[in-house]
Amino acid sequence: MPELPEVETTRRGIAPHLEGREIHEVIVRNRRLRLPVPEGLENALVGSRIGPLSRRAKYLILPIETPAGDAVPAEVAVGPALLWHLGMSGSLRIARLGDPPKKHDHVDLVMENGAILRYHDPRRFGFLDWLQEDVASDRRLVRLGPEPLSPAFDDERLFQCSRKRRLAVKPFLMDNAVVVGVGNIYAAEALFLAGIDPRRAAGQISRERYVRLTAAIREVLSAAITQGGTTLRDFVSGTGEPGYFAQRLNVYGRDGEPCRRCGRELRLVTLGQRASVFCPTCQT
Protein backbone atom coordinates (compact mmCIF):
# COMPACT_ATOMS: atom_id res chain seq x y z
CA MET A 1 0.00 0.00 0.00
CA PRO A 2 1.35 3.48 -0.80
CA GLU A 3 2.19 5.19 2.48
CA LEU A 4 2.90 8.84 3.25
CA PRO A 5 6.32 9.03 1.53
CA GLU A 6 4.93 7.39 -1.61
CA VAL A 7 1.97 9.78 -1.72
CA GLU A 8 4.22 12.79 -1.08
CA THR A 9 6.60 11.58 -3.80
CA THR A 10 3.62 11.33 -6.16
CA ARG A 11 2.48 14.86 -5.28
CA ARG A 12 5.91 16.30 -5.95
CA GLY A 13 6.20 14.39 -9.22
CA ILE A 14 2.86 15.37 -10.75
CA ALA A 15 2.48 18.93 -9.41
CA PRO A 16 4.73 20.69 -11.97
CA HIS A 17 2.71 19.15 -14.81
CA LEU A 18 -0.71 20.11 -13.41
CA GLU A 19 -0.68 23.29 -11.36
CA GLY A 20 -2.21 26.20 -13.23
CA ARG A 21 -3.17 23.97 -16.17
CA GLU A 22 -6.61 23.87 -17.75
CA ILE A 23 -8.43 20.55 -17.94
CA HIS A 24 -9.21 19.87 -21.60
CA GLU A 25 -10.85 16.45 -21.28
CA VAL A 26 -11.76 13.85 -18.65
CA ILE A 27 -11.84 10.16 -19.63
CA VAL A 28 -13.42 7.64 -17.25
CA ARG A 29 -12.93 4.03 -18.33
CA ASN A 30 -14.19 2.39 -15.16
CA ARG A 31 -16.40 4.07 -12.54
CA ARG A 32 -16.33 1.08 -10.17
CA LEU A 33 -13.67 2.11 -7.67
CA ARG A 34 -14.02 1.91 -3.88
CA LEU A 35 -16.36 4.88 -4.31
CA PRO A 36 -18.00 5.18 -7.75
CA VAL A 37 -16.56 7.96 -9.88
CA PRO A 38 -19.23 10.72 -9.75
CA GLU A 39 -21.55 10.79 -12.74
CA GLY A 40 -21.06 13.90 -14.85
CA LEU A 41 -17.49 14.42 -13.68
CA GLU A 42 -16.32 14.45 -17.31
CA ASN A 43 -18.35 17.55 -18.14
CA ALA A 44 -17.96 19.29 -14.78
CA LEU A 45 -14.16 19.50 -14.88
CA VAL A 46 -13.61 20.56 -18.49
CA GLY A 47 -12.47 24.17 -18.68
CA SER A 48 -11.42 24.31 -15.02
CA ARG A 49 -7.88 24.89 -13.79
CA ILE A 50 -5.96 22.94 -11.17
CA GLY A 51 -4.59 24.92 -8.24
CA PRO A 52 -1.60 24.11 -5.99
CA LEU A 53 -1.62 20.44 -5.02
CA SER A 54 -1.46 19.46 -1.37
CA ARG A 55 -1.46 16.29 0.71
CA ARG A 56 -3.18 15.39 4.00
CA ALA A 57 -2.07 12.02 5.40
CA LYS A 58 -2.41 9.65 2.41
CA TYR A 59 -4.94 11.86 0.59
CA LEU A 60 -3.97 14.01 -2.39
CA ILE A 61 -5.93 17.25 -2.75
CA LEU A 62 -6.30 18.89 -6.17
CA PRO A 63 -8.01 22.31 -5.92
CA ILE A 64 -10.37 22.85 -8.86
CA GLU A 65 -10.86 26.45 -9.97
CA THR A 66 -14.08 26.53 -11.98
CA PRO A 67 -14.55 29.61 -14.23
CA ALA A 68 -17.17 31.96 -12.82
CA GLY A 69 -20.56 31.57 -14.40
CA ASP A 70 -19.95 28.18 -15.95
CA ALA A 71 -22.89 25.86 -15.55
CA VAL A 72 -22.20 22.41 -14.14
CA PRO A 73 -24.48 19.35 -14.21
CA ALA A 74 -26.94 19.35 -11.31
CA GLU A 75 -26.11 15.72 -10.47
CA VAL A 76 -22.50 16.62 -9.65
CA ALA A 77 -21.89 18.08 -6.20
CA VAL A 78 -18.99 20.33 -7.16
CA GLY A 79 -16.68 21.15 -4.29
CA PRO A 80 -13.57 23.29 -4.04
CA ALA A 81 -11.22 20.35 -4.63
CA LEU A 82 -10.81 16.83 -5.92
CA LEU A 83 -9.85 14.32 -3.26
CA TRP A 84 -7.77 11.34 -4.38
CA HIS A 85 -6.81 8.23 -2.39
CA LEU A 86 -4.59 5.57 -3.94
CA GLY A 87 -5.94 2.66 -1.90
CA MET A 88 -3.91 -0.56 -1.90
CA SER A 89 -2.41 -0.56 -5.37
CA GLY A 90 -3.24 2.76 -7.00
CA SER A 91 -0.83 5.16 -8.64
CA LEU A 92 -1.03 8.51 -10.42
CA ARG A 93 1.37 9.07 -13.29
CA ILE A 94 1.98 11.67 -15.95
CA ALA A 95 1.39 10.39 -19.50
CA ARG A 96 1.28 12.15 -22.85
CA LEU A 97 -1.18 12.20 -25.72
CA GLY A 98 -0.68 9.06 -27.73
CA ASP A 99 0.43 6.92 -24.75
CA PRO A 100 -1.94 3.92 -24.87
CA PRO A 101 -3.78 3.15 -21.62
CA LYS A 102 -3.04 -0.09 -19.79
CA LYS A 103 -5.61 -2.58 -18.56
CA HIS A 104 -6.14 -0.95 -15.16
CA ASP A 105 -5.86 2.72 -16.19
CA HIS A 106 -9.30 3.89 -15.04
CA VAL A 107 -9.29 7.69 -15.22
CA ASP A 108 -7.42 10.32 -17.28
CA LEU A 109 -7.36 14.07 -16.70
CA VAL A 110 -6.09 15.56 -19.97
CA MET A 111 -4.51 19.03 -19.73
CA GLU A 112 -4.60 21.65 -22.50
CA ASN A 113 -0.85 21.17 -23.08
CA GLY A 114 -1.19 17.42 -23.71
CA ALA A 115 -0.08 16.22 -20.26
CA ILE A 116 -2.33 13.46 -18.86
CA LEU A 117 -2.84 12.64 -15.18
CA ARG A 118 -3.51 8.89 -15.41
CA TYR A 119 -4.94 6.84 -12.53
CA HIS A 120 -3.90 3.16 -12.46
CA ASP A 121 -5.39 0.80 -9.86
CA PRO A 122 -5.51 -3.00 -10.36
CA ARG A 123 -7.43 -3.68 -7.12
CA ARG A 124 -9.70 -0.61 -7.41
CA PHE A 125 -9.53 0.11 -3.65
CA GLY A 126 -8.70 3.77 -4.29
CA PHE A 127 -11.11 6.55 -5.19
CA LEU A 128 -11.49 10.13 -6.34
CA ASP A 129 -14.26 12.33 -5.05
CA TRP A 130 -15.39 15.94 -4.91
CA LEU A 131 -14.86 17.69 -1.59
CA GLN A 132 -18.30 19.12 -0.90
CA GLU A 133 -17.13 21.31 1.99
CA ASP A 134 -13.95 23.17 2.84
CA VAL A 135 -10.96 20.86 2.95
CA ALA A 136 -10.43 21.31 6.69
CA SER A 137 -14.01 20.25 7.53
CA ASP A 138 -14.32 17.20 5.27
CA ARG A 139 -15.42 14.20 7.35
CA ARG A 140 -12.52 12.06 6.11
CA LEU A 141 -9.91 14.61 7.13
CA VAL A 142 -11.27 16.38 10.19
CA ARG A 143 -10.34 13.68 12.75
CA LEU A 144 -6.83 13.08 11.50
CA GLY A 145 -3.85 13.65 13.78
CA PRO A 146 -0.92 15.94 12.97
CA GLU A 147 1.42 15.50 10.04
CA PRO A 148 4.62 13.80 11.29
CA LEU A 149 6.93 16.31 9.57
CA SER A 150 5.03 19.38 10.81
CA PRO A 151 5.66 21.44 13.98
CA ALA A 152 2.33 20.14 15.37
CA PHE A 153 3.92 16.71 15.88
CA ASP A 154 6.37 16.56 18.75
CA ASP A 155 7.58 14.19 21.46
CA GLU A 156 5.43 15.78 24.18
CA ARG A 157 2.23 15.19 22.22
CA LEU A 158 3.23 11.61 21.43
CA PHE A 159 4.09 10.97 25.09
CA GLN A 160 0.80 12.42 26.36
CA CYS A 161 -1.27 10.47 23.81
CA SER A 162 0.39 7.26 24.96
CA ARG A 163 -0.45 7.56 28.64
CA LYS A 164 -2.48 4.63 30.04
CA ARG A 165 -2.51 2.98 26.61
CA ARG A 166 -2.04 -0.79 26.79
CA LEU A 167 -1.85 -1.09 23.02
CA ALA A 168 1.52 -2.15 21.66
CA VAL A 169 3.56 0.83 20.51
CA LYS A 170 3.70 -0.19 16.85
CA PRO A 171 -0.08 -0.19 16.21
CA PHE A 172 -0.27 2.90 18.45
CA LEU A 173 1.98 4.74 15.98
CA MET A 174 -0.18 3.54 13.09
CA ASP A 175 -3.31 5.15 14.59
CA ASN A 176 -4.14 8.13 12.33
CA ALA A 177 -5.71 9.95 15.28
CA VAL A 178 -2.30 9.97 16.99
CA VAL A 179 -0.19 10.87 13.95
CA VAL A 180 -0.93 10.42 10.26
CA GLY A 181 1.01 8.48 7.69
CA VAL A 182 3.24 6.30 9.88
CA GLY A 183 2.26 3.03 8.24
CA ASN A 184 3.58 -0.47 8.72
CA ILE A 185 6.91 -0.03 6.93
CA TYR A 186 7.93 3.25 8.53
CA ALA A 187 6.68 2.41 12.03
CA ALA A 188 8.87 -0.71 12.00
CA GLU A 189 11.90 1.22 10.78
CA ALA A 190 11.44 4.12 13.24
CA LEU A 191 11.14 1.74 16.19
CA PHE A 192 14.36 0.05 15.13
CA LEU A 193 16.22 3.38 14.95
CA ALA A 194 14.85 4.34 18.38
CA GLY A 195 15.76 0.94 19.86
CA ILE A 196 12.20 0.18 21.03
CA ASP A 197 10.59 -3.27 21.00
CA PRO A 198 7.39 -2.95 18.91
CA ARG A 199 5.56 -5.24 21.37
CA ARG A 200 5.95 -2.89 24.33
CA ALA A 201 2.81 -1.18 25.61
CA ALA A 202 2.70 2.43 24.44
CA GLY A 203 1.87 3.62 27.95
CA GLN A 204 4.95 1.97 29.46
CA ILE A 205 7.50 3.83 27.35
CA SER A 206 9.33 6.72 28.98
CA ARG A 207 9.30 10.35 27.90
CA GLU A 208 13.00 10.13 27.04
CA ARG A 209 12.38 7.23 24.65
CA TYR A 210 9.51 9.10 22.99
CA VAL A 211 11.95 11.94 22.29
CA ARG A 212 14.14 9.45 20.40
CA LEU A 213 11.14 7.87 18.70
CA THR A 214 9.79 11.21 17.45
CA ALA A 215 13.17 12.04 15.95
CA ALA A 216 13.37 8.57 14.39
CA ILE A 217 9.94 8.93 12.76
CA ARG A 218 10.99 12.23 11.19
CA GLU A 219 14.32 10.80 10.07
CA VAL A 220 12.80 7.71 8.45
CA LEU A 221 10.02 9.56 6.64
CA SER A 222 12.32 12.34 5.42
CA ALA A 223 14.81 9.79 4.09
CA ALA A 224 12.06 7.82 2.37
CA ILE A 225 10.72 10.93 0.64
CA THR A 226 14.23 11.86 -0.49
CA GLN A 227 14.70 8.36 -1.90
CA GLY A 228 11.36 8.49 -3.74
CA GLY A 229 9.48 6.11 -1.45
CA THR A 230 9.70 2.36 -1.08
CA THR A 231 8.94 0.26 -4.15
CA LEU A 232 6.65 -2.58 -3.07
CA ARG A 233 4.80 -4.45 -5.81
CA ASP A 234 2.90 -1.76 -7.72
CA PHE A 235 4.22 1.58 -6.53
CA VAL A 236 6.19 3.97 -8.70
CA SER A 237 6.34 7.75 -8.51
CA GLY A 238 4.19 10.17 -10.46
CA THR A 239 6.79 10.26 -13.21
CA GLY A 240 7.07 6.47 -13.42
CA GLU A 241 10.30 6.10 -11.43
CA PRO A 242 10.67 3.45 -8.70
CA GLY A 243 11.47 4.39 -5.10
CA TYR A 244 14.78 3.31 -3.63
CA PHE A 245 14.19 3.40 0.14
CA ALA A 246 13.70 -0.40 0.13
CA GLN A 247 17.47 -0.69 -0.24
CA ARG A 248 17.85 0.97 3.20
CA LEU A 249 15.30 -1.06 5.17
CA ASN A 250 16.74 -2.36 8.44
CA VAL A 251 13.94 -4.66 9.58
CA TYR A 252 10.80 -4.52 7.41
CA GLY A 253 10.51 -7.67 5.28
CA ARG A 254 13.80 -9.09 6.64
CA ASP A 255 12.49 -11.84 8.94
CA GLY A 256 15.22 -14.42 9.60
CA GLU A 257 18.01 -12.25 8.21
CA PRO A 258 20.85 -10.91 10.39
CA CYS A 259 20.47 -7.52 12.07
CA ARG A 260 22.59 -4.91 10.34
CA ARG A 261 23.77 -3.65 13.75
CA CYS A 262 24.45 -6.71 15.89
CA GLY A 263 24.16 -9.67 13.52
CA ARG A 264 21.47 -11.47 15.52
CA GLU A 265 18.60 -13.07 13.59
CA LEU A 266 15.61 -10.76 13.18
CA ARG A 267 12.28 -12.03 14.54
CA LEU A 268 8.75 -11.86 13.14
CA VAL A 269 5.66 -11.23 15.30
CA THR A 270 2.09 -10.20 14.55
CA LEU A 271 0.81 -6.96 16.07
CA GLY A 272 -2.61 -5.58 15.29
CA GLN A 273 -2.98 -8.22 12.55
CA ARG A 274 0.13 -6.87 10.82
CA ALA A 275 3.50 -8.58 10.47
CA SER A 276 6.30 -6.87 12.38
CA VAL A 277 10.01 -7.67 12.22
CA PHE A 278 12.41 -6.50 14.94
CA CYS A 279 15.79 -7.23 16.52
CA PRO A 280 15.48 -8.83 19.98
CA THR A 281 18.90 -7.44 20.94
CA CYS A 282 18.82 -3.88 19.60
CA GLN A 283 15.15 -3.24 20.45
CA THR A 284 14.15 -3.53 24.10
What are the tens digits of pLDDT across the range 232-270?
444 444 555 544 456 679 999 999 999 999 999 999 999
Q: Say if residue 118 carries a ligand binding annotation.
A: no
**pLDDT tens by residue, 93-119:** 999 999 999 999 999 999 999 999 999
Q: Is residue 9 part of a domain?
A: yes
For range 64-83, the mean pLDDT: 63
159 and 263 assigned to the same domain: yes
121 and 246 assigned to the same domain: no
Task: Count the domains in the chain.
Answer: 2
130 and 163 assigned to the same domain: no
Given this model, what pLDDT does residue 245 score? 54
Given this model, what pLDDT does residue 243 score? 47
38 and 123 assigned to the same domain: yes
Q: Say if residue 24 carries a ligand binding annotation.
A: no
pTM score: 0.85
165 and 273 assigned to the same domain: yes
Owning domain of residue 83: 4-137
For range 14-19, the mean pLDDT: 95
Given this model, what pLDDT does residue 131 score? 80
pLDDT: which is higher, 135 or 259: 259
Mean pLDDT of the chain: 89
Q: Tell me, what CATH number does 18's domain have?
A: 3.20.190.10
The one catalytic residue in 11, 58, 93, 170 is 58
**pLDDT tens by residue, 58-73:** 999 999 987 654 544 4
| Residue type, position 189, single letter | E
The one catalytic residue in 2, 38, 63, 171 is 2
89 and 28 assigned to the same domain: yes
Q: Say if residue 165 carries a ligand binding annotation.
A: yes
Query: Is residue 274 flagged as an active site residue?
Result: yes
Q: Is residue 239 part of a domain?
A: yes
pLDDT at 151 exceeding the cut of 70: yes
The one catalytic residue in 12, 212, 254, 274 is 274
Q: Tell me, what CATH number does 242's domain have?
A: 1.10.8.50
